[in-house]
Structure 1
Amino acid sequence: MSATVAASADSPNLTEKQRRILEYLRSNADTQTYFKSRLIGDALDMSAKEVGTNMTALQDSDVGIDVEKWGYSSSTTWMVTS
């Protein structure tokens, strides 16, 4: 379920929410690999469902990171690597 990606965050195909999530992931990827949708949503004032929907779109886009759905306990967990 991972997508290997190589383009920039300025991709015109990304929505504003996807850009915000991508910026959040990139700013935290140096210190963390696993991200919960619920916690991303709390940080960005979005619901976990909004984050999950947009993470799936990022997973399929060329944004310079790998996104893989990892776990489902108490919120979907995503493994993010560059």
Structure 2
Amino acid sequence: MSTTDSPIETATEQQTPTEGRSKSERLAEYLRQEAADGDAYIKAKFIADDVGLSPKQIGALIVQLQDSVADLEIEKWSYTGATTWRISHRPS
């Protein structure tokens, strides 16, 4: 910590992105970021560490998010060893 850093600023900077948000909120935000530049294709096992959830948790939550997140289109795309999901922004 430098001499200009206050303890409050340092504590805020050290918070992980997963603090203070529900699992579904974290996953939805991650999916929004992934689809920001166009369609994204994901498998739960490959994003588990990024989101801080297990692949099983992601699989259960993503099904729930299909109907509850208005700005994202989430669809099962294919299955090869694990489900691949296509994520895109819904047109306004």
Please, what TM-score do these two structures have when normalized by structure 2? 0.65
From the two aligned structures, give the one with the greater helix fraction.
2
RMSD across aligned C-alpha pairs, in angstroms? 1.7
For these two proteins, the number of residue pairs brought into alignment is 68
Residue in structure 1 matching 2:33, options 27, 30, 36: 27
Correspondences of 1:3-42 after superposition (within 5 Å): 16-29=22-35, 30=37, 32-42=39-49
3-state SS of paired residue (2:82): coil
4+ residue stretches of structure 1 with deviation over 4 A?
Answer: none
Matched residues in 1 for 2:59 and 2:39: separation? 18
What TM-score do you get using the length of structure 1 for normalisation? 0.72
Distance 1:63 1:17, change over 3 A: farther
Cα offset, 1:59, TM superposition: 0.3
Partners of 2:38 and 2:51 in 1: CA distance: 18
Q: Name which structure has the greater RCO, CA cutoff 8 Å, separation 6+.
A: 1
**Larger Rg belongs to:** 2
The answer to whether the aligner puts 1:70 opposite 2:77 as a matched pair is: yes
Unaligned runs of at least 5 residues, structure 1: 1-14
User: Unaligned 5+ residue runs, structure 2?
Assistant: 1-20
